């Protein structure tokens, strides 16, 4: 380890030596450089003084000042001071040599002089340069002087206490500065302190310098007689530039080739109008035929006036209603207001809104041509033959038959037209004389239990068949035209024994149907031919009794058939239904009704044809009997003419039931009706 | 079965329609551009009959355009301009981003612009078509011309709108085409008849607008762009049809009169001209200086029968119009400063009156307040400070009412401080059965030439008459009820007798003298007819019945409304009368 240390020490010493040598060399070099610099300097200074010789006094003052400055700078600056006199000497020597030098050169030289006159180089006694002095902490010296000799640290044994004492005792302590490079303390002179103060305040170091000298405006707005410089104009100022020429030719080429477009002329025609429709060629495209012009805005009414008639103003209720309503439901989009004079009318706040909405309508609303039905309502009413021309038909109520205590379910007139039989819910059958409206006979059929009684009168024999409660309710009885047969209906969902045909002469009953085909509502024999009509809920079946087969099935287009009547000719059938309709079937035409008559407001309960007159009647729960004229023509091509001729009212609606049955007089154009109010009425 | 399976939605109505989005993609335009194109070209959506079919089974709400329309748009040169503009905006943005100001300037100079002339020509192949569609254009231009320069739209647009509207008004004045005016709470409606077309437009009151935020001004601006072009061409044509110079020039004579010393203070020379035009106080220069308008005489054609009547009616109408055109001839008006100057000057000049105003109100006043020959001074204050003896001081409504009534109305009702009579809309034409306010009846009586002195009595009488008429209407309905009532009463008697009979009581043997049943044959006939009608209605077909019921419902509603109005009016009048009586006491 020791060896190594020694070696390192040796090495270090060697290195130090080398360094020293180098430094020496450097030093040797340096002076040479210095000399050169000095020469330069000398040149400059010589020139300075040579130029200023003529003026004389100023330069001398300058010199003195500079000398003064040097004196002020430092006491220690000896080398420089010693150098300066030398320089002056040299200057003086060379003055004669260089005489005629231009002013400009002088200026340049002056600048040079200032370059070297920086304060950093003033006090170079320690040549180590600007390094942290801690590096020399462990050495006895702190650097090297100009001659390469070590500058030893001044022997200082000042510790903190000494320092403090010095601070307390020495009156110049505050102006003492420690120079790290030389390790010496420097006491600043008064001038130096003042200089520091001035610099600290941001003032110029030189006391005599006036910073607010009046400035001479060199480049002013005034046109001077003489030019600023006397320099002759450049050649390039009167010779066309080649570069520019090249550029221009490039642009010209570009324009020629169409790469550059000339600047557009401001379009004058844009705001200009002309006669657009001058050559009015009526070239109407297909588009124009299809075009639907937007509907115009509806014109304002009295309500919109600023001073409307008082009746158009809103009352409070109307205003409240208006405010409650949604904007789309309102009849008027604004509230009518009255102003007493024109000057009080304010701006309409929704004006822009309304215009905007109109715009939206114009381009967003789908347009459609809607056919507006513009008909006179009178024209819609069909032209019918006048009822007057279709007389006779019953017009007024002439007789009322009273006596029953329950609903009169069914009535029937004798073929002679003298007698009327009625069956009622009170369980009795009454016989009336038609003309006198007298009850001739009362037969109690139902016994104690009041049950509906149905009856029907046979034409040739004046038999009355009445049905009542016998196990099950018989709904209806119907006679054959010859009077030998009698059909009865007992509606029942389950059995096939709904319809029974009884033969009077043999006193025998038979069941014509093997199968149950729905709830049978009513039955009827064909007046001439061996046909049998069975009305179920929604359809009417026609059976041929001879062939024993179904010939036709009529679709009534109604929910529930209530009654049925066959025209005495046998080719037409009417069906009343509980959904207020009366359907007229033409058997020759189709199985669908030829006409649906929706005259009644409530369920139709009864329907009947007149035997000889072209009349038919329907009775309904709304308490009315409607008599219609229904001419049937023998000509097959001509459709029947159906005209309602009279609405007969008279029955009182009781328990929501009106007229229950209706029958025509066999010879007269009279009609009987029985109602829920326990009366029978005759209309003649 | 052989053959390819038919694909759904490839035939039929689907092929005629295209949804908006698809149309937009087909045209390769952004939605705002598409919207603008539709506005300019007048393309509107169509509602297909079977929406679901067209919508390919979906029920989503979609807007459909006719595919033909979209194909038509494909060839529009303006579409290219829209794309150019898009590119321009992009370049400009880029240049801004790079702060290349020279590039910005260059781009701005080459900003792509387009003209709408061909579109106008295409949309309106004839001049009359264009005239028919000018209502909205006028409304919009009048609205835009009142906008302040607040950046809602370009200043040039506002100026152009103002110019065009002023030109239009000058034309209407020169042609004396105005027919009706109406002061509403929204603004003032004007109706003019130009070349046989009735043109109505609405001018807002002169107040600054409270610009709503939920309005898309771009849409309005696009419409205005189209409308200004349309209006410009129409103005040009109209001016030429009257041999007027376009752009309009004031008559040289009138111009000299208008020249004043302090004119320079008022406005710049360029602006001054428009201002003078808009003052509407001077007539326009003509291309051919004809002294008077030659009036075309209707040639007489030998006609017979109904045509004759028509011809006569037409002649009468024409005479009436001529009279209306010269309504204010020879009258001299002076407008006080609080009345709407432009509107009044416009309408007065339209009907041949002379009008002036205070010099400080507007440029172009022709005479002073002190002028002796002034006949009417229009004031909108409770009282005027200094009154001249030889003129009427009236409220502005008088002028409007006169025009609508087509006669010079008596001025008594319109003096200062007097409660004005209601201002009625001239656009309402009452049919039979409609409600007619009594003031209208009064005016109609005046038009017929009855004297206003008897008027008040007449009015009352007429009121009564009206009431009676209405009652009669009601009676028709009631009559039927009455009949039934009678029947019922008869029946009651019968019932009574029957009851007595059924109860086994002996009938009263007392014989009362019978009354002769007076049968009114007319009434019987009426009844018969009514019943016939009822029966016939029963026989109507379902469809027709529905329609008939609807029509009748509408009619009844109308009558109900009219009745309501009369009742309201009556209540109001009664209340007023009561008030008057109270004050008298």
**Average confidence (pLDDT) over A228-235:** 84
**Average confidence (pLDDT) over A84-102:** 43
Contact (CB<8Å) A352/B38: no
Cα separation, B160 vs A352, in Å, equals: 19
In tens, the pLDDT along B519-578 reads 788 888 898 888 888 888 888 888 888 989 999 999 999 999 999 999 999 999 999 999
**Residue A114 banded pLDDT, cuts 50, 70, 90:** low
Contact (CB<8Å) B246/A273: yes
Probe site for chain A from B481, B486, B538, B570 (most A CB atoms < 10 A)? B538
In tens, the pLDDT along B62-90 reads 999 999 999 999 989 999 999 999 999 99
Predicted pLDDT at A629? 87
Probe site for chain B from A288, A380, A626 (most B CB atoms < 10 A)? A380
Contact (CB<8Å) A381/B547: no
Cα separation, A502 vs B58, in Å, equals: 64
**Residue A96 banded pLDDT, cuts 50, 70, 90:** very low
Does a structural domain hold residue B309?
no
Q: Are A573 and A595 in contact (CB under 8 A)?
A: no
Predicted pLDDT at B501? 58
Q: Determine the structural domain holding residue B573 and report its residue range.
A: 430-448+543-584
Task: Give the Cβ contact number of residue B430 at 10 Å.
Answer: 13
Predicted pLDDT at A596? 86
* Beta-sheet pairing, A595-597 with B178-183: unpaired
More confident residue, A246 or B243: A246
Cα separation, B359 vs A161, in Å, equals: 101
Contact (CB<8Å) B423/A366: no
Cα separation, A412 vs A415, in Å, equals: 9
Strand partners, A572: A586
Predicted pLDDT at B169? 93
Predicted pLDDT at A266? 65
Contact (CB<8Å) A304/B542: no
Q: Taking 70 as the threshold, does the pLDDT of residue B261 lie above it? A: no
Q: Are A681 and A652 in contact (CB under 8 A)?
A: no
CA distances from A262 to A255, A326, B106 (A): 8, 61, 12
Does a structural domain hold residue B504?
no
Cα separation, A90 vs A192, in Å, equals: 31
- Measure in Å the smallest separation between the Cα of A298 and chain B Cα atoms: 10
Q: Which chain B positions have a beta carbon within 8 Å of A346's beta carbon? A: 205, 207
Structural domain ending residue among the three candidates B248, B280, B312? B248
* Beta-sheet pairing, A397-402 with A659-664: unpaired
Cα separation, A422 vs A94, in Å, equals: 173
* Beta-sheet pairing, B17-19 with A561-566: unpaired
Regarding whether B434 and B392 lie in a shared domain, the answer is no
User: Going along A117-219, which residue ranges are E strands?
Assistant: 141-144, 150-152, 176-179, 184-187
In tens, the pLDDT along A659-681 reads 988 988 888 888 999 888 888 99
Q: Are B69 and B110 in contact (CB under 8 A)?
A: no
Closest CA to B206 of B344, B355, B352, B363: B344
Probe site for chain B from A296, A306, A336, A597 (most B CB atoms < 10 A)? A306
Does a structural domain hold residue B23?
yes
Q: How many residues does chain B have?
A: 585
**Chains A & B: contacts with CB separation below 8 Å:** 258
Regarding whether B574 and B439 lie in a shared domain, the answer is yes
Contact (CB<8Å) B569/A342: no
Predicted pLDDT at A122? 52
**Average confidence (pLDDT) over A8-27:** 46
Contact (CB<8Å) A305/B419: no
Predicted pLDDT at A71? 42
Predicted pLDDT at B158? 92
- Measure in Å the smallest separation between the Cα of B244 and chain A Cα atoms: 13
- Name the token pair of B458: 């007449």
Predicted pLDDT at B71? 92
Mean residue pLDDT across chain B: 82
Residue A518 backbone zone (phi > 0: left; psi -120 to 50: alpha; other: beta): left
Location of structure tokens 């043109």: B199
Range scoring the smallest mean pLDDT among A47-51, A187-191, B191-195, B215-219: A47-51
Probe site for chain A from B38, B111, B185 (most A CB atoms < 10 A)? B185
Structural domain ending residue among the three candidates B203, B228, B248? B248
Q: Are B175 and B131 in contact (CB under 8 A)?
A: no
Contact (CB<8Å) A345/B569: no
- Measure in Å the smallest separation between the Cα of A343 and chain B Cα atoms: 7
Contact (CB<8Å) B551/A358: no
Cα separation, B321 vs A430, in Å, equals: 84
Q: How far is CA A381 from the centre of its chain?
A: 48
Does a structural domain hold residue B11?
no
- Name the token pair of B39: 């506005």
Regarding whether B108 and B212 lie in a shared domain, the answer is no
Range scoring the smallest mean pLDDT among A137-151, A221-235, B508-522: B508-522
Regarding whether B214 and B121 lie in a shared domain, the answer is yes
- Measure in Å the smallest separation between the Cα of A400 and chain B Cα atoms: 9
Mean residue pLDDT across chain A: 76
Q: Which chain B positions have a beta carbon within 8 Å of A368's beta carbon? A: 46-47
Q: Which of residues 247-276 of A touch B (CB under 8 A)?
A: 263-264, 267, 269-271, 273-276
Predicted pLDDT at B563? 92
Angle at A418 between CA A417 and CA A422, to 5 degrees: 85
Does a structural domain hold residue B321?
no
User: Is A302 part of the contact surface with chain B (CB cutoff 8 Å)?
Assistant: yes
CA dihedral A38, A41, A47, A53 (to 10 degrees): -90
DSSP A82-94: HHHHHHHHHHHHH
Probe site for chain A from B61, B186, B228 (most A CB atoms < 10 A)? B186
Of A307, A348, A352, the CB nearest to B212: A352
Q: Taking 60 as the threshold, does the pLDDT of residue B206 lie above it? A: yes
Predicted pLDDT at A515? 80
Longest dimension (CA), chain A: 188
Q: Which of residues 525-564 of A touch B (CB under 8 A)?
A: none
In tens, the pLDDT along A306-332 reads 999 988 899 899 999 999 998 888 888
Of A273, A315, A358, the CB nearest to B236: A273
Overall domain count for chain B: 5
Does a structural domain hold residue B334?
yes
User: Is A337 part of the contact surface with chain B (CB cutoff 8 Å)?
Assistant: yes
Cα separation, A346 vs B311, in Å, equals: 46
Contact (CB<8Å) B420/A341: yes
Predicted pLDDT at A94? 44
Of A345, A368, A380, the CB nearest to B544: A380
Q: Taking 60 as the threshold, does the pLDDT of residue A14 lie above it? A: no
Return all residues near A201 (Cβ < 8 A) that are at least 6 apart: none
- Measure in Å the smallest separation between the Cα of A567 and chain B Cα atoms: 21
CA dihedral B139, B145, B150, B154 (to 10 degrees): 90
Cα separation, B416 vs A214, in Å, equals: 80
- Measure in Å the smallest separation between the Cα of B217 and chain A Cα atoms: 8
Predicted pLDDT at B307? 73
Does a structural domain hold residue B488?
no
Predicted pLDDT at A27? 41
Whole-number percent of chain B with pLDDT over 70: 82
Does a structural domain hold residue B304?
no
Cα separation, A341 vs A339, in Å, equals: 6
In tens, the pLDDT along A386-402 reads 888 888 888 888 888 88
Cα separation, A575 vs A555, in Å, equals: 10
Cα separation, B539 vs A599, in Å, equals: 8
Range scoring the smallest mean pLDDT among A95-104, A637-646, B3-12: A95-104
**Average confidence (pLDDT) over B289-316:** 64
CA distances from A45 to A157, A228, B258 (A): 46, 29, 88
In tens, the pLDDT along A126-175 reads 788 888 888 888 888 888 888 888 888 777 667 888 888 888 888 888 88
**Average confidence (pLDDT) over A619-634:** 87
In tens, the pLDDT along B378-426 reads 998 888 778 888 888 999 999 999 999 988 888 888 888 888 999 999 9
CA dihedral A384, A385, A391, A396 (to 10 degrees): 30
Regarding whether B201 and B160 lie in a shared domain, the answer is yes
Predicted pLDDT at A458? 54
SS (H, E, C) B257-307: HHCCCCHHHHCCHHHHHHHHHHHCCCCECECCCCCCCCCCCCCCCCCCHHH
DSSP A624-670: EEEEEEEE--SSTTSPPEEEEEEEEE-PPPBTTB-EEEEEE-SSSS-
Cα separation, A35 vs B10, in Å, equals: 107
Regarding whether B193 and B98 lie in a shared domain, the answer is no
**Average confidence (pLDDT) over B575-584:** 88
**Average confidence (pLDDT) over B181-206:** 93
More confident residue, B242 or B296: B242
Regarding whether B378 and B236 lie in a shared domain, the answer is no
Regarding whether B406 and B374 lie in a shared domain, the answer is yes
CA distances from A139 to A133, A152, A153 (A): 11, 9, 9
* Beta-sheet pairing, A508-510 with A520-525: unpaired
Longest dimension (CA), chain B: 126
Return all residues near A443 (Cβ < 8 A) that are at least 6 apart: A428, A429, A430, A431
Regarding whether B196 and B152 lie in a shared domain, the answer is yes
Regarding whether B164 and B23 lie in a shared domain, the answer is no
- Measure in Å the smallest separation between the Cα of B491 and chain A Cα atoms: 9
**Average confidence (pLDDT) over A321-347:** 90
Predicted pLDDT at A112? 53
Regarding whether B191 and B142 lie in a shared domain, the answer is yes
Predicted pLDDT at B138? 95
Predicted pLDDT at A383? 84
Cα atoms found within 13 Å of the Cα of residue B539, Cβ hemisphere only: 23
Q: What is the per-residue burial (b if ≥16 Cβ within 10 Å, else e) of A507-530?
A: eeeeeebeeeeebbbbbbbbbeee
Cα separation, B431 vs B429, in Å, equals: 6
Regarding whether B439 and B569 lie in a shared domain, the answer is yes
**Residue B22 banded pLDDT, cuts 50, 70, 90:** very high
- Measure in Å the smallest separation between the Cα of A410 and chain B Cα atoms: 23
Whole-number percent of chain A with pLDDT over 90: 11
Q: Which chain A positions have a beta carbon within 8 Å of B395's beta carbon? A: 341-342
Predicted pLDDT at B113? 87
Range scoring the smallest mean pLDDT among A596-610, B178-192, B459-473: B459-473
DSSP alpha helices (H): ranges in B179-279?
Answer: 217-241, 252-258, 263-266, 269-279
Q: Are A394 and A678 in contact (CB under 8 A)?
A: no
Probe site for chain B from A381, A557, A598, A652 (most B CB atoms < 10 A)? A381
In tens, the pLDDT along A272-310 reads 788 888 876 666 677 777 888 889 999 999 999 999 998
CA distances from A264 to A248, A268, B111 (A): 20, 11, 10
Angle at B50 between CA B45 and CA B51, to 5 degrees: 55
Sign of CA dihedral B456, B457, B462, B468: positive
In tens, the pLDDT along A352-411 reads 999 999 999 999 999 888 887 788 888 888 888 888 888 888 888 888 888 888 888 888
């Amino acid at each position: 380890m020791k060896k190594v240390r020694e070696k390192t020490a040796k090495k270090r010493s060697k290195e130090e030596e080398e360094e020293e040598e180098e430094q020496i060399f450097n030093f040797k070099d340096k002076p040479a450089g210095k000399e050169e610099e000095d020469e330069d300097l000398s040149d400059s200074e010589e020139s300075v003084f040579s130029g200023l010789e003529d003026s004389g006094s100023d330069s001398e003052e300058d010199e003195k000042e500079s000398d003064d400055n040097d004196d002020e700078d430092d006491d220690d600056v000896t080398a420089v001071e010693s150098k300066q006199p030398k320089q002056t000497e040299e200057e003086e020597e060379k003055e004669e040599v260089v005489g005629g030098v231009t002013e400009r050169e002088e200026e340049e030289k002056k600048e040079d002089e200032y370059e070297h006159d920086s304060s950093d180089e003033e006090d170079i006694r320690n040549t180590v340069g600007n390094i942290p002095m801690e590096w020399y902490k462990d050495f006895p010296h702190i650097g090297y002087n100009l001659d390469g000799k070590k500058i030893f640290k001044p022997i200082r044994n000042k510790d903190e206490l000494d320092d403090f004492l010095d601070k307390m005792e020495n009156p110049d302590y505050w102006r003492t500065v420690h120079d790290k490079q030389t390790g010496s303390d420097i006491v600043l002179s008064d001038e130096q302190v003042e200089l520091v103060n001035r610099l600290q305040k941001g003032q110029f170091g030189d006391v005599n310098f006036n910073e607010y000298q009046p400035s001479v405006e060199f480049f002013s707005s005034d046109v001077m007689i003489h030019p600023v410089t006397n320099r002759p104009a450049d050649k390039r100022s009167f010779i066309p530039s080649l570069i520019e020429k090249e550029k221009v030719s490039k642009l010209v080429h570009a324009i020629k080739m169409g790469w550059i477009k000339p600047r557009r002329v401001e379009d004058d025609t844009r705001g200009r109008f002309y006669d657009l429709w001058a050559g009015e060629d009526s070239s109407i495209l297909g588009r124009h035929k299809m075009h639907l012009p937007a509907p115009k805005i509806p014109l304002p009414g009295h309500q919109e006036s600023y001073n409307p008639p008082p009746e158009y103003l809103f009352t409070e209720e109307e205003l409240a209603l208006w405010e409650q309503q949604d904007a789309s439901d309102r009849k008027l989009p604004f509230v009518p207001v009255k102003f007493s004079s024109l000057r009080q009318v304010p701006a309409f706040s929704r004006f822009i809104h309304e215009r905007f909405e109109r715009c939206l309508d114009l381009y967003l609303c789908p347009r459609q041509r809607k056919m507006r039905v513009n008909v006179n309502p009178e024209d819609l009413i069909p032209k019918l033959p006048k009822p007057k021309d279709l007389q006779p038909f019953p017009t007024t109520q002439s007789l009322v038959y009273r006596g029953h205590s329950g609903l009169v379910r069914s009535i029937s007139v004798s073929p002679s037209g003298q007698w009327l039989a009625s069956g009622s819910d009170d369980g009795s059958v009454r016989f009336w004389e038609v003309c006198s409206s007298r009850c001739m006979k009362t037969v109690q059929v139902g016994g104690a239990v009041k049950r509906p009684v149905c009856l029907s009168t046979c034409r040739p024999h004046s038999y009355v068949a009445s049905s009542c409660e016998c196990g099950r309710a018989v709904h209806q009885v119907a006679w054959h035209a010859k009077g030998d047969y009698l059909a009865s209906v007992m509606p029942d969902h389950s059995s096939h024994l709904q319809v029974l045909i009884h033969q009077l002469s043999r006193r025998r009953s038979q069941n014509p149907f093997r199968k149950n085909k729905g709830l049978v509502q009513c039955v009827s024999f064909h007046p001439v031919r061996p046909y049998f009509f069975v009305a179920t809920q929604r359809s009417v079946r026609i059976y041929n009794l001879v062939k024993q087969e179904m010939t036709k099935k009529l679709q009534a287009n109604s929910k529930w058939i209530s009654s049925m009547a066959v025209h005495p000719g046998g080719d037409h059938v009417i069906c009343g239904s509980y959904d207020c309709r009366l359907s007229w079937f033409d058997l020759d035409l189709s199985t669908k009704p030829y006409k649906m008559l929706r005259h009644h407001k409530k369920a139709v309960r009864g329907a009947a044809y007149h035997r000889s007159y072209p009349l038919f009647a329907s009775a309904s729960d709304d308490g009315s009997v409607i008599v219609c004229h229904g001419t049937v023509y023998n000509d097959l091509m001509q459709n029947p003419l159906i005209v309602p001729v009279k609405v007969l009212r008279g029955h009182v609606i009781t328990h929501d039931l009106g007229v229950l049955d209706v029958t025509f007089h066999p010879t007269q154009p009279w009609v009987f009706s029985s109602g829920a109010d326990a009366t029978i009425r005759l209309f003649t | 079965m052989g053959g390819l399976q038919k694909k759904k939605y490839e035939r039929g109505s689907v092929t005629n329609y295209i949804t908006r989005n698809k149309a937009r993609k087909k045209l390769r335009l952004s939605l705002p551009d598409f919207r603008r194109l539709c506005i300019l070209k007048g393309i509107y959506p169509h509602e297909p009959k079977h929406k679901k079919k067209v919508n390919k089974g979906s029920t989503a709400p979609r807007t459909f355009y006719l595919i033909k329309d979209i194909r038509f748009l494909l060839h529009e040169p303006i579409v290219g301009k829209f794309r150019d503009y898009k590119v321009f905006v992009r370049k400009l943005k880029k240049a801004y981003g790079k702060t290349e100001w020279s590039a910005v300037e260059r781009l701005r100079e080459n900003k792509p612009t387009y003209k709408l002339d061909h579109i106008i020509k295409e949309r309106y192949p004839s001049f009359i078509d264009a005239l028919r569609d000018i209502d909205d254009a006028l409304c919009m231009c009048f609205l835009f011309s009142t906008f302040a320069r607040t950046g809602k739209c370009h200043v040039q647009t506002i100026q152009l709108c103002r110019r065009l509207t002023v030109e239009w008004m000058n034309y209407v004045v020169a042609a004396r085409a105005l027919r009706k005016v109406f002061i509403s709470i929204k603004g003032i409606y004007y109706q003019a008849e130009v070349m046989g077309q009735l043109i109505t437009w609405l001018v807002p009151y002169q107040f600054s607008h409270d610009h709503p935020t939920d309005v898309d001004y771009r849409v309005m601006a696009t419409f205005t762009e189209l409308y200004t072009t349309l209006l410009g061409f129409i103005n040009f044509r109209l001016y030429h049809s009257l041999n007027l110079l376009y752009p309009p020039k004031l008559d040289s004579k009138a111009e000299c009169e208008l020249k004043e010393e302090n004119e320079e203070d008022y406005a710049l020379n360029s602006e001054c001209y428009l201002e003078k035009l808009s003052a509407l106080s001077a007539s326009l220069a003509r291309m051919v200086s004809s002294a008077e308008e030659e009036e075309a005489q209707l040639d007489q054609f030998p006609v017979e029968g109904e045509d004759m009547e028509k011809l006569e009616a037409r002649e009468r109408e024409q005479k009436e119009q001529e009279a209306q055109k010269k309504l204010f001839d020879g009258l001299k008006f002076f407008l006080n400063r609080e009345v709407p100057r432009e509107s009044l000057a416009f309408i007065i000049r339209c009907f041949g009156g002379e009008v002036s105003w205070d010099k400080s109100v507007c440029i172009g006043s022709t005479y002073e307040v002190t002028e002796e020959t002034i006949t009417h001074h229009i004031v909108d204050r409770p009282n005027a400070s200094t009154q001249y003896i030889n003129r009427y001081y009236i409220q502005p409504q008088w002028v409007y009412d006169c025009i609508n009534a087509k006669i010079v109305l008596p001025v008594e009702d319109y003096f200062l401080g007097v409660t004005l009579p209601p201002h009625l809309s001239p656009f309402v034409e009452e049919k039979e059965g409609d409600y007619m306010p009594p003031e209208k009846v009064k005016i109609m009586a005046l038009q017929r030439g009855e004297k206003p002195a008897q008027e008040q009595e007449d009015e009352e009488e007429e009121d009564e008459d009206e009431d009676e008429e209405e009652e009669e209407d009601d009676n028709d309905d009631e009559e039927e009820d009455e009949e039934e009532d009678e029947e019922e009463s008869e029946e009651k008697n019968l019932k009574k007798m029957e009851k007595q009979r059924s109860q086994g009581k002996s009938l009263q043997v007392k014989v009362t003298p019978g009354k002769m049943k007076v049968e009114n044959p007319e009434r019987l006939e009426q009844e018969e007819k009514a019943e016939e009608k009822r029966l016939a209605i029963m026989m109507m077909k379902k469809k027709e019945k529905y329609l008939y019921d609807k029509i009748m419902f509408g009619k009844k509603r109308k009558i109900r409304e009219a009745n309501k109005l009369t009742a309201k009016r009556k209540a109001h009048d009664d209340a007023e009368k009561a008030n008057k009586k109270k004050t008298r006491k």
